[in-house]
Amino acid sequence: MLEFGAMHSFLISPLVEIDGGFETKEALDIAIATFALILLAVSLSAYRKTRMRRLLLVSAAFGLFAVDVLIRQLDDLVFNVGAQTSQIVVGAMEFVILLLFFLAIVVRD
């Protein structure tokens, strides 16, 4: 015969989400997006002081990185457009981010 605790867990656990807090992936995504926004602000501030065009490219890359994390989170929580569509969008954004960093390195002011 099942113990009371085991029976309680068996009946209640599917109905009540006991582990309702943030998941590790969500917490990391929040930290990544926050850090990307901080780097965006720092690089825009540096651009205003130096007027180096490459800093605008770096700023755009950091901004897109934050948007990338936002799109992944919104797709998981709200849109649910499908794994293949979100993978294509996220993959394309990551390519553009890398391209912007590359251009920031090779562009001369």
- For residue 107, which of 61, 63, 64, 67 has the smallest C-alpha distance? 61
Q: Residue 23 gets which letter from DSSP?
A: -
Distance CA 86, CA 106 (A): 30
Residue listed under structure tokens 């917490």 = 27
The amino acid that residue 38 corresponds to is I
Give the global pTM: 0.70
Which runs of E-coded beta strand occur in 31-78? none
- What is the pLDDT confidence band of residue 79, given thresholds at 50, 70 and 90? low
CA proximity to 44, closest of 66, 28, 73, 72: 66
Q: What average pLDDT does this structure show over 69-92?
A: 75
For 83-106, write each residue's pLDDT tens digit. Answer: 667 778 888 999 999 999 999 999
Q: Does 73 or 101 have the greater pLDDT score?
A: 101
Q: Is 69 helix (H, G, I), strand (E, B) or coil?
A: helix
Give tens-digit pLDDT for 13-69.
Answer: 444 444 555 688 888 888 999 999 999 999 999 999 999 999 999 999 999 999 988
- Please report the pLDDT score of residue 99 as a whole number: 95
